[in-house]
Structures are given as C-alpha cells and as structure tokens.
A and B are shown apart, each in its own frame.
Chain A
Amino acid sequence: MDVRQADIVIVGGGGAGLRAAIAAAEANPQLDILLLSKVYPMRSHTVAAEGGCAGVIQPHDSLDAHFDDTVSGGDWLCDQDVVDYFVRHATEENLRLEHWGCPWSRKPDGSINVRAFGGMKIERTWFAADKSGFHILHTLFQTSLKYPSIRRCDEYFCTDLLLEGGACAGIQAIDMRTGSHTLIAASAVILATGGAARVYRYNTNGGIVTGDGMALAYRQGVPLRDMEFVQYHPTGLPGSGILITEAARGEGGVLTNRDGYRYLQDYGLGPETPLGEPKNKHMELGPRDRLSQAFWHEAQAGRALATSRGEAVNLDLRHLGEARINERLPFIRDLARTYVNVDAVHEPIPVRPTAHYTMGGIQTDRYTATALSGLFAAGECASVGLHGANRLGSNSLAELSVFGRVAGEQAAARASQGPSVDPQRLLARAQDNAAVWEALRESTGNERLATIRDEMARAMEDGAGIFRLPGQMRQTCTKVAELKDRYSDLGLVDRSRAFNTEWLNAIELGYLLDVAEAMAHAALARQESRGSHQRPEDFPQRDDAQFLKHSLVYRAADAPRLDWQDVVITRSQPAERHYGAAGQQENKS
C-alpha cells in the first residue's frame, strides 16, 4: 500500500473539482492540494456540455427573474436560500472564467453575448459556440496548472472514503497504471465526481459517469437526496443518445412529428411561435420535463417517426440557414453528420428524449458540507438544493463554478485549522478495503458484468423513466435488489493489475447499482407528480401538503431507508407552473 498525505483531497477533475482546487489554492497557498481523477481532467464529462452557462448580464434582466425561473422550473423543490446565493454569484464566476481565458461568444462590439434557453424568461445563457463545457473545462484545467500547490493524481480510481473518529480523514484509490492501492490521508475531502445517468440505457453521458461519489458517500451513511429526479433531455440522437443541445432550439430550431406538425402546441406550450422567432418559455423553449413528456404522448399516439434507430421526432434547423448554423451550432452539424448521417442544413435531425442529468445527489448544506464532517461535495454528484425537481438548462455549469468555489474555500478553511491526520491510523482499515477489491479482481462467480449492467439499465428505463407506472416501479425495485444479489456472484476474467478495466468497470457497476437502488426507492416513495417525476396513473398531481419535501435515502441492510427534509422557502410560495400563453397571462396579472 502506497501511503500519502495531503491537506485537501479532491476526487474529480471536472468543472466542479478543478474550480474547487483553484479556490482552495487561492484561499491558502500553503495548503497541499491533491486533485485525483480516474481520467485526465480534460476528459471529464463537463467537456461534453454544449449549450451554455447561466448568469444575469443584460440590463433588462434581474437576479429576481433568474431566481423565479429557477424556483418555478424546479417545481418549488429548490432551497430558496441556495438559489439566492447562486443567482448572486453566477455572473461573477462566468466573468472570472472569462478573465482566465474562456472564449465566451461575443457581440460585434466585443461584449458578452447571451442566448435563450428553455425555461429562462430572459436570455442569460453565456455560451462558447456550442462547446461551452469544453471551453470551460479546458480553461479551468489550464488555469489550474498555474498553481504549484495543486498536485494531480491522474488516472487514479477512488474506491473508498476513509473515516477516523467519525470524520472523513482521507480516501483510498487504485493507481490504474499499476493496479496498486494508495491511501491518501487529508483533513478535508471534496467529492466532485459528476452524475450517474449511466444507470440508464439511452443517455447523454460518457462511459465514466457512473455515480461513484454518490455511492462512496452513501456507503458511509451519508444520505442521498432527491434521487428520484432524473432529467430526460428531449433531444438526444436515437440509438446512441448523444446530445443535441437545447441551444439548437434557443437559436430557433423547431420540433415536428411525423406529420410535420409542431406538436408542442397541444401540450400547453402554445400558441405556435412563428418560424425563426423563438420565444422564451414557449413551445420549443418550454422546460425539458414538459418536452420529454410530450414526446412520450406523441409516440403513444403513433405520431413519432419510425427510424432504423428507433422512434424519433424531427428537430428542424433548416430555416436558420448554413451561415448561422456554422457560426452558432458547428458541433451539432458535425455530430449529426457523423452519428446519424444527416446534414442539418438540408435535413431535419431525428431526436428523442434520453436520460441526461441527476438533479439529486449527496445531500449538502448551502456551504457544500455533507452530513459527514470533513466531507464536502459539489457539482452534479451533490444535491445542494439548487435544482429542485427539474434543473433548468445552463444552471448546472454555473453551479460548478459557484459551488465548486464554495467547496474549495470551505475545505481550505477546515484544512488550515484542523490538525493533520496520521495516515498510519487509517492503514489497517485501508488494507481491509484493499482485500475486498483484490477478492473482486480474483472473483470466479457465475454472473457476467455486461449482463447485469444491461439488465439494470433496462430496468431503470422501464420503472424510473419519463413516466412512472406503479407496477413497473415496484418491479424495478425488485429487479435492482435481485441484481445486487447477483452482483455478489460476479465472475471476472482479467486477473492482471495493469490497466485492468474489467476490474474497474466491475467496481463502477457496484456504484451504479447503489445509485439505481436509491433512485428507484425514492421514486416509489414520492407519491405525487412533480417536475421530472411523473406518475400519471396513481398520483398525477403535485401534492404540496405531503411532499413539498426533499427525499433522503439512507443505505440499510435490506432495502434503503427513506426520510424527508423540509424545503427552504424564503419568498416564493408554491404556485402552478405555467408556460406558453398561460404563463404570459400569469405574468400580466
């Protein structure tokens, strides 16, 4: 066992992890910061974000308007103190990224340009063409190189959190090149491991997005919050699930069914907006949950297109013209050409909803602290209380900077005061853990990794998808329990240590199963429909009397234990969510 020490360990080199590292390095340059990631930081899935990053900048916009859109978009399940803090700091963080070199798209006069995004009343989405996440991530990675106190462990796979005296005191990881176990003691640990949409079959996420951090915390008794809320993105490519950004609609793209009809007007999002004049919160710029649900109904009614890659609707960009598509959506054109053989300039792109984003995650307070002292969490793996029951597009990239920074500063404050941890005290525990992983590497059971993974993904799609029906939900809970059972009889083929990806995938599958379990059980327990969680058959209405609450899932021996936490409401009382003409009425009144 390789034994090391640092003041702060950050697990995850995506947007949140990198921002946290920089914040900690700036807060106290004396601290020894270790940034650990299972891939080189610029491979993190933040790189795939296309559309943009929210922050109020236009004179006719206001923080209150951003607050209102976020809270109503989240179907009032957002913690409003957190949203307040977020909207007040988002713009400043976007500007900081700009000062670090992020090439935000500009207006002809050299000032920042913003685009429209679903659910946002006023344009406030900063963008770098259609590669916003790519540019943010590379800017952060390159800027992090400036700080000598940030050391990196690239391609180290975190397997355990280590506790000492009831507090988190370090982590344990596998050095992927050699397969050896490493213990790193630290007085503060930040989890920034990203989302978990790989529990679903069709998703927009990279292969590495397997909910590791959520499971790591869950296994130490930290509750996962609001796990039933999973966002389906209305426009993924059929087959692969690769994302076609919402910005395609923000720029004026329209959705049509097999009859060429703009069907969204039938789902409370109308009236139909003229071609080339997208209107905020109307039609194609309605919130994601509504759009995904509309697809489901169209497909049920037989009005979706049958393609060789499955059912789809058309996303039509042709009226934007080649010049604008090349300027604003060059990556989208390239993706459609490569992966579905469609040139968006001349043909509509087939799209369908795919699993995209986990609103829930490791429960934290507004300062990113988890229930376990010494452990912080930020980014998609965390539930800080920002997104409620449905995240608005472009709020999550901003979340990475706003709460990544908070996490870095909080961890730095703790590490600056706290006594350092003696790694020797963690050694015995770490050796026990290592033995478990070694046993897995040598396992000779009868179950195959790919089979369990695929069955899990299908079960989640069936019972925790866009619409959740009671029988299927229960089946999914049972199925996940069965799969967890079968997982203990896993048999692996690869006995080597050097870059043994079968072994690492098996550990990831363990994480995925824990996350799937939490999602399925939280979904069953929430007996209402809210945001992305829709139960049209048994509980079609929102039920504020009983469920204006965050769900908390705790790991327990047989089935997980559920609990509830109050939502922080400061100034916006729950109301109905209206979009389209109805929303406009409400604004006037």
Chain B
Amino acid sequence: MHKPYIQRQRADWWLRNPAYRRYMLREATALPLFLYTLLLMSGLFQFTRGEAAFLQWLEMLRSPWLLALHGLALAAALFHAVTWIALVPKILVIDTDRLRVSPAAVKLAHQVGAVVCNAGLLLLAVLLLRAAAGN
C-alpha cells in the first residue's frame, strides 16, 4: 500500500517563520508606493480639471495623513533600495576570463547610480520650480 500524506501549504505560511515575515515586509513595501502612485495620478487628474482643482489638491496634501503617507513611502522606497542593492553583488556577478569586477565594486556602482539618479531628479525638480517661479 502506498498512501503518502500530502502536506498543503497553509494560508498563514508567511506568518510562521521570521525569514518569511522579513520577506513579506519587503514585498509589502510595494503597498505605500502603490498608494503614493494613486495620489500622484489623482494630482495629475485634478491638474487637467483646471487651476482651482489642482490648488485644492495641493492644499489637501498638507493633511497629516498624507504627510505620513509620504514619509512611509519614502521609508519603504529606501528600505527596498538598500536591501536590494545589498543583494545585487550576488546576482550580478561579473567574473569571466576577460572581465572581472569585484562584488564590492558592483555594489558601489549601484549605490553611486542610485545616488546620482536621485540627485539628478532633485536637481531637475529644483530647476523646474525655478523656471516656474521665473515666469
């Protein structure tokens, strides 16, 4: 007789082990980012409806709830970026007979890249704001 017992994955599998909870936390960073995207989209929508609507939207952004969302989204994005970049050297391994880049250098390149991109965006925003103020 052959009657193996089939173990089914429990719905709460991700609660049962710290490693899974850490993983779920990482995955969960998508949530505040998703809400933040919705917020931006709604801004864009209000913008198309005219100045008054957009100003009202801007006003709404001052609510403590939405400030908190911004903080949360920033924290989530940072957490995700930092942990992701920490893993990159294991995944992006450049080690062939012709070309070898040390894991530390791969990591540094990603860190520098992230900083440069973010600084660039910030700069762009500042420039745009200036231009807008100039008008």
Listed in ascending order, the chain A residues whose CB lies under 8 Å from chain B are 177-178, 497-498
Q: Which residues of B contact A498 (CB under 8 A)?
A: 1-3
Query: Could you list some 7 contacts between A and B, CB below 8 A?
Result: A177-B2, A178-B1, A178-B2, A497-B1, A498-B1, A498-B2, A498-B3
Listed in ascending order, the chain B residues whose CB lies under 8 Å from chain A are 1-3
Q: How far is the CA of A498 from the CA of B4 in the complex (A)?
A: 10
Q: How far is the CA of A177 from the CA of B3 in the complex (A)?
A: 9
Q: Which residues of A contact B3 (CB under 8 A)?
A: 498
B8, chain A: closest CB distance, angstroms: 21
The list of the 7 closest CB pairs from A to B, nearest first, reads: A178-B2, A177-B2, A178-B1, A498-B1, A497-B1, A498-B2, A498-B3
Q: How far is the CA of A79 from the CA of B119 in the complex (A)?
A: 79
Q: Which residues of A contact B1 (CB under 8 A)?
A: 178, 497-498
Q: How far is the CA of A497 from the CA of B3 in the complex (A)?
A: 12
Q: Which residues of A contact B2 (CB under 8 A)?
A: 177-178, 498
Q: How far is the CA of A81 from the CA of B29 in the complex (A)?
A: 72
B97, chain A: closest CB distance, angstroms: 11
Q: How far is the CA of A178 from the CA of B1 in the complex (A)?
A: 5
Which single residue of chain B is at the shortest CB-CB distance from A497?
A: B1
Q: Which residues of B contact A178 (CB under 8 A)?
A: 1-2
Q: Which residues of B contact A497 (CB under 8 A)?
A: 1
Q: How far is the CA of A498 from the CA of B2 in the complex (A)?
A: 7
Q: How far is the CA of A177 from the CA of B2 in the complex (A)?
A: 7
B58, chain A: closest CB distance, angstroms: 61
Which single residue of chain B is at the shortest CB-CB distance from A178?
A: B2
Which single residue of chain B is at the shortest CB-CB distance from A496?
A: B1
Q: How far is the CA of A535 from the CA of B2 in the complex (A)?
A: 53
Q: How far is the CA of A498 from the CA of B1 in the complex (A)?
A: 7
Which single residue of chain B is at the shortest CB-CB distance from A177?
A: B2
Which single residue of chain B is at the shortest CB-CB distance from A498?
A: B1
Which single residue of chain A is at the shortest CB-CB distance from B4?
A: A177
Which single residue of chain A is at the shortest CB-CB distance from B3?
A: A498
Q: How far is the CA of A129 from the CA of B81 in the complex (A)?
A: 38
A145, chain B: closest CB distance, angstroms: 24
Q: Which residues of B contact A177 (CB under 8 A)?
A: 2
B61, chain A: closest CB distance, angstroms: 57
B68, chain A: closest CB distance, angstroms: 49
Q: How far is the CA of A177 from the CA of B1 in the complex (A)?
A: 8
B65, chain A: closest CB distance, angstroms: 54
Which single residue of chain B is at the shortest CB-CB distance from A175?
A: B2
B6, chain A: closest CB distance, angstroms: 15
Q: How far is the CA of A557 from the CA of B104 in the complex (A)?
A: 72
A113, chain B: closest CB distance, angstroms: 20
Which single residue of chain A is at the shortest CB-CB distance from B2?
A: A178
A177, chain B: closest CB distance, angstroms: 6
B18, chain A: closest CB distance, angstroms: 24
Q: How far is the CA of A497 from the CA of B1 in the complex (A)?
A: 8
B17, chain A: closest CB distance, angstroms: 24
B71, chain A: closest CB distance, angstroms: 46
Q: How far is the CA of A498 from the CA of B3 in the complex (A)?
A: 9
B38, chain A: closest CB distance, angstroms: 51
B135, chain A: closest CB distance, angstroms: 67
B90, chain A: closest CB distance, angstroms: 20
Q: How far is the CA of A178 from the CA of B2 in the complex (A)?
A: 6
A211, chain B: closest CB distance, angstroms: 29
Q: How far is the CA of A178 from the CA of B4 in the complex (A)?
A: 10
B5, chain A: closest CB distance, angstroms: 11
A155, chain B: closest CB distance, angstroms: 12
Q: How far is the CA of A497 from the CA of B2 in the complex (A)?
A: 9
Q: How far is the CA of A178 from the CA of B3 in the complex (A)?
A: 9
A319, chain B: closest CB distance, angstroms: 31
B52, chain A: closest CB distance, angstroms: 71
Q: How far is the CA of A279 from the CA of B29 in the complex (A)?
A: 62
B10, chain A: closest CB distance, angstroms: 25
B87, chain A: closest CB distance, angstroms: 25
A438, chain B: closest CB distance, angstroms: 15
Q: How far is the CA of A265 from the CA of B117 in the complex (A)?
A: 70
B14, chain A: closest CB distance, angstroms: 31
A496, chain B: closest CB distance, angstroms: 9
Q: How far is the CA of A413 from the CA of B3 in the complex (A)?
A: 41
A197, chain B: closest CB distance, angstroms: 34
Which single residue of chain B is at the shortest CB-CB distance from A179?
A: B1
Q: How far is the CA of A495 from the CA of B1 in the complex (A)?
A: 13
